[in-house]
Amino acid sequence: MRMIDIIEKKRDKKALSKKEIAFAIEGYVKERIPDYQMSSLLMAIYFNGMTDDEATALTEAILKSGKIMDLSAIEGTIVDKHSTGGVGDKTTLVLGPLVASCGAKVAKLSGRGLGHTGGTLDKLESIAGFNISLSTEAFVDQVNKINIAVAGQTSELAPADKLLYALRDVTGTVPSIPLIASSIMSKKLASGADVIVLDVKIGEGAFMKTLEDARTLSKLMVKIGENFGKKVIAFITDMSEPLGYAIGNKLEVLEAVRTLQGNGPSDLQVLCTEIGSYLVHHAGITDSLKEARKMIEKRISSLEASDTFKALIEAQGGKIPDLNDYIHTEGIIAVKSEYAGYVERLNALDIGLAAMRLGAGRETKEDTIDQDVGIVLNKKVGDKVEKDEVLAYVYNNKEDITEEIKTILNAFTITESIVEKKPLIIEIIE
C-alpha cells in the first residue's frame, strides 16, 4: 500500500477503505508519512468529503493511535458532555455537579482554551489549589466516591488527533465536517463514556456558522457514536450572543456557582437543565426525561448540586473561594449605551475578542491568562436600553482599554423596535 495511491483515490472522489485510512494515520503517527503527503490527503478530504463509513474508520484509526481510558472500575453508567465552544460557555461547571448530584457518573476530561476565554481547566484552575492532573486510579476512585471528576486530557489519548489538528491549522483544512467529527469523537470515545451529549453551537461566536452545517456535523457524530455502540445525543444551540452574562475565567466560575444555587441567568440554567435531563435519563436513573427534569430542578433548589460542586473542589485539592473576595482587578469600568432602544444584536465574537484582549483568553498557546479580568454583560438581545444606561462592565488590569471598550460598544446593535428573544436550543438530534 502506498500513500500516493490513497491521496489520488480521495482526490478522484472515491471512498477510502478502512485499511487505507488506518495505513495513513498509523504511518503519519510513526513518521513514515511526511507532512506534505498528509497535507495533500487532508486537502482532498476537505474538498471531497467522506462517507459516514469513512468518517467512522478515521475516528477508529485516531482512537487506536493511543490509549483508551479503562473506566470499567466505575460503578454505573458513565456520562460525558462536549461543547464545540463559544463565548461565556461555562456549561461544564454547572452541568457536571448538577448531573452528579442526581447519581450519574461524570468522568470528564477537558482541555484548555485557545481563543476568546479559557477552557474548562483554566476556569477550574482559577480556584486556588485545584488540581487537574489526576492518575487514572485517582480519577476512577473519585468518581466512585462523589460521582464526578474533571481532569486534563493526557497526551496518551488519541495522539494522532493532536498531530492532525496542528497540520490542519496551518493548511486551511480545519473547517471540514468529517475531520471535525472524527477529531471530537475520537477523544470522547477514548475517554470511556457510555452516554455522550454534544453541544454543537452555531452563530457568530461559534465555529459552525450555519444550521445546515451544524445539523450535518451533529448527525455524523451521532452516527459515529452509534457505530461504536455509544448513546450520543446532539444539541444544536445558538451562540449569536454570549451564554449567560459573564465572560472571563473567575467571572464564569462565579456565575456557575450562582446558577447551581438557582440564581443564574435563565439561558444557562435552561441549557444545563435540558442537557442534564438527557444525561440523567439515559444513565438509567429515571424512566423519563420529565422525571429527570424534575430531579434536576430539585437538586438546584435543595442546594445538593451546589454541595456537589464544593465536594469536587475539595476532592481535587481546591479551596472553596470566598465569593465576596474572589476577583481582584485594578478597576471596573461601565460601558454605557449611546442610544435608547432595544438590543437587536449582540455580536458574541466581538465580545469574546474584547475579553481575550483584556487577558481573559489566549491568542497563542504560550500566552498567560489573567484569571480575574473579563466582561459582565448588563444587557442582552431583546432588552430595553436607555441612553447612558450600562451595557456591560469591564473587569480590567490594563492601563489603556480604549480599543476594548470600542469593540464592546460596536458589538451591540440598538434599534427602536421591540426585539423578540430567539430560542437557545434550536434542535436535538438523537
Residues 22 and 92 in one domain: no
Q: Which of 315, 339, 358 is the last residue of a domain?
A: 315
Rounded Cα gap, residues 411 and 126, in angstroms? 27
In this prediction, residue 361 has a pLDDT band, given cuts at 50, 70 and 90, of: confident
Task: Return the CATH number at 8.
Answer: 1.20.970.10
Please compute the mean of the pLDDT values over residues 369-384 and round it to a whole number.
Answer: 97
User: Where do the DSSP E strands lie in 263-383?
Assistant: 331-336, 341-346, 374-377
Residues 301 and 368 in one domain: no
Whether 111 has a pLDDT exceeding 90, the answer reads: no
Rg (CA), the chain: 22
Q: Which residues are catalytic?
A: 82, 161, 168, 183, 187
Rounded Cα gap, residues 51 and 255, in angstroms? 42
Rounded Cα gap, residues 378 and 401, in angstroms? 19
Handedness of CA 205, 210, 215, 218 (dihedral sign): negative
* Predicted local distance difference test score (pLDDT) of residue 115: 58
Whether 263 has a pLDDT exceeding 70, the answer reads: yes
Task: Return the CATH number at 150.
Answer: 3.40.1030.10
Residues 302 and 346 in one domain: no
Whether 364 has a pLDDT exceeding 80, the answer reads: no
Residues 134 and 160 in one domain: yes
Residues 141 and 184 in one domain: yes
Whether 365 has a pLDDT exceeding 90, the answer reads: no
Residues 265 and 241 in one domain: yes
Q: What is the pLDDT of residues 171-194, one digit of tens each?
A: 999 889 999 999 999 999 999 999
Q: Is residue 322 part of a domain?
A: no
Q: Which residue has the higher pLDDT, 212 or 112?
A: 212
Q: Is residue 254 part of a domain?
A: yes
Q: What is the pLDDT of residues 286-336, one digit of tens each?
A: 999 999 999 999 999 999 999 999 999 999 999 998 888 899 999 999 999
Task: Return the CATH number at 359.
Answer: 3.90.1170.30
Residues 265 and 390 in one domain: no
Residues 352 and 282 in one domain: no
* Predicted local distance difference test score (pLDDT) of residue 414: 98
Residues 275 and 310 in one domain: yes
**Cell numbers that stand for 52 in this block:** 459516514
Lowest mean pLDDT among 27-36, 107-116, 228-237: 107-116
Q: How many domains does the chain have?
A: 3
Domain, as residue range, for 39: 3-63
Q: Which residue has the higher pLDDT, 268 or 366?
A: 268
Phi first, then psi: give them for residue 335, nearest 5 degrees: -100, 115
In this prediction, residue 201 has a pLDDT band, given cuts at 50, 70 and 90, of: very high
Q: What is the pLDDT of residues 403-416, one digit of tens each?
A: 999 999 999 999 99
- Which residues neighbour 304 within 8 Å (Cβ) at sequence distance 6 or greater? 101, 298
Q: What is the pLDDT of residues 145-154, one digit of tens each?
A: 999 999 988 7
Q: What percent of the chain has pLDDT over 90?
A: 87
Residues 87 and 235 in one domain: yes
* Amino acid at site 42: L
Q: Which of 291, 315, 339 is the last residue of a domain?
A: 315
CB 185 within 8 A of CB 59: yes
Q: Is residue 291 part of a domain?
A: yes
Q: What is the pLDDT of residues 11-63, one digit of tens each?
A: 999 999 999 999 999 999 999 999 999 999 999 999 999 999 999 999 999 99
- Which residues neighbour 70 within 8 Å (Cβ) at sequence distance 6 or greater? 136, 192
